Structure 1
Amino acid sequence: MDVILIPGFWLDASSWNEVTPALEAAGHRVHPVTLPGLESAEAPRAGIGLADHIEAVVRLVDGLDGPVALVGHSGGGAVAQGVADRRPDRIARVVYVDAAPIGEGDCINDELHASGHDIPFPDWSVFEEADLADLDDGLRRRFRERAVPHPAAAASDPMRLGDERRLDVPTTIVCCEFSSETVAEWIAAGVPFVREVAAHRDVDYVDLPTGHWPQFTRPAELGRVLVDALPR
């Protein structure tokens, strides 16, 4: 199956390098993407918003034959969700890696500090302790070396959804910072930021305890989780 891998903030296609071998060994055709504005530190980011990121992946889906699986990490999960909303008949499964679909009108994260059209990679103190679990000094150094400023509008633009068939697309939530048990408690309590998850009609949960970046801290395990989650 064709599998599109969508990175989270500040990352490009290479962030999936240690995850893709397991998928390829299982016979999948992998398509890690670099979203517009993330090509390099010097890439223009003015005018690039969430819709542009979604449209870039929609074009990739349209260029492939047959059903496609989407994997979205962190903010890349919202991009995957937007693609599933626009092409629900083409998407075999969406896997959210330490992420979840967001509601109509919500944004990915409008609290990150922007400098003009860019959101530079912040100081580690911005992140919660749970985010940084297993991300040792060497991984942090390599992450910072590869990080690219994220387009500011892509973080703050509201999500626009239009096709309720997205709610029938099979979905997997890979829980890293927070356990599946915690997510279930949030859903039962009606916590607003999981209302879109609660509306989905076919959702599986997989626990992969680590920090927010399992593609760096537990890449082999993440690869196996994805292989198990994706249609054969």
Structure 2
Amino acid sequence: MDFVLVHGTTQAPSGWDRLVEALARRGHRAHCLDLAGVPPAAPATAYAEHALRWWADRAPTPVVVAHSGGGALLPALAQALHASHQVWLAAYVPDFDGGACLVEDVGVEPEAVVNPEWVGQDPFADPVIAAHFLFHDCDLATLRWALGTLRPFPAEAVHRHRPSADPRAVPSTYLLPVDDRVLRPDWMRRAAHERLGAACVELLGGHCPHVARPESVADVLVGVGRRTDRTP
């Protein structure tokens, strides 16, 4: 089974390494899409084209997984790659029905969507900030490794782009870490229900469960993949 992993706005593709290894131990292939090859001013459609060129002639109908701010691109990427399923890992879900971009959506009721303590913080300048908000549930060895995966992903144009791809066009599962210190768990539950009509799987831990609990995330992904696999 093939999984495409889409990083968020705070980590490089290397942030998926522990999950890639966990999936490999279960006999599955994970491919990490790097969004940095697209100019920051490009719209969501450019990222979909980038993903399609990168995927080329690889296996059809992968499961596409997006983390955090990568969720703004997930519908376009999943549809471009003809995904069998899309998985939202502590990810923003676009407001397709309301037509609001991420910036507008968060601006309407910011404290309902995002932890106000996170707003304005710079995890790249201060490892204490990164540890507190992103990796607070990691053991020390994992934390040291995780801090090395930090990389900003400037996607201002995407965050200001009104969603054009319906997130309900591909079946979804939402993975919700109940101790998230970035996105509000109540908002994630509501978004999964109202914007996706999707099952919500709740996990222990914080905003980066693929870092702190890769085995648990891999088990959920493999279960999702088995239910949706279309290959012979």
The normalised TM-score by structure 2 is: 0.70
Aligned-residue offset at 1:133? 3.5
CA distance in 2, matches of 1:112, 1:61: 34
Partner of 1:6: 6
Please tell me whether the aligned partners of residues 174 and 207 of structure 1 are also in contact (alpha carbons under 8 angstroms).
yes
Cα pair distance change 1:184/1:24, threshold 3 Å? same
Please tell me whether the aligned partners of residues 90 and 177 of structure 2 are also in contact (alpha carbons under 8 angstroms).
yes
CA distance in 1, matches of 2:61, 2:84: 6
Partner of 1:191: none
Please tell me whether the aligned partners of residues 48 and 77 of structure 2 are also in contact (alpha carbons under 8 angstroms).
yes
Once superposed, what is the RMSD of the aligned Cα atoms? 3.6
Cα pair distance change 1:23/1:121, threshold 3 Å? same
CA distance in 2, matches of 1:36, 1:140: 24
Q: Percent identity?
A: 24
Matched, 1:99 2:91: yes
Partner of 1:200: 196
CA distance in 1, matches of 2:11, 2:187: 29
Partner of 2:175: 174
Partner of 1:32: 32
Give matches, 1:1-232, under 5 Å.
1-37=1-37, 47-48=41-42, 50-61=44-55, 63-84=57-78, 86-87=79-80, 90-103=82-95, 104-107=99-102, 121-123=124-126, 131-136=134-139, 138-153=141-156, 156-162=159-165, 164=166, 166-177=167-178, 183=186, 187=190, 194=191, 197-201=193-197, 203-230=198-225, 231-232=228-229
Structure 2: state its 5+ residue gaps: 108-117
Aligned-residue offset at 1:151? 1.5
Amino acid at match of 1:76: G
SS class of match (2:102): coil
Which whole-Å deviations, capped at 9, do the CAs of 1:133-191 have from their partners, x for residues lacking one?
Answer: 313555444333332232242563324214x4x41422111110369xx649963xxxx
CA distance in 2, matches of 1:155, 1:140: 29
The normalised TM-score by structure 1 is: 0.70
Cα pair distance change 1:18/1:48, threshold 3 Å? same
Please tell me whether the aligned partners of residues 8 and 69 of structure 2 are also in contact (alpha carbons under 8 angstroms).
yes
Which whole-Å deviations, capped at 9, do the CAs of 1:87-107 have from their partners, x for residues lacking one?
Answer: 48x221001111142113322
SS class of match (1:151): coil
Cα pair distance change 1:138/1:22, threshold 3 Å? closer
CA distance in 2, matches of 1:139, 1:206: 24
Higher helix share: 2
Cα pair distance change 1:128/1:120, threshold 3 Å? closer
Please tell me whether the aligned partners of residues 64 and 85 of structure 2 are also in contact (alpha carbons under 8 angstroms).
yes
Cα pair distance change 1:186/1:146, threshold 3 Å? closer
Please tell me whether the aligned partners of residues 189 and 200 of structure 2 are also in contact (alpha carbons under 8 angstroms).
no
Amino acid at match of 1:176: P
SS class of match (1:15): helix
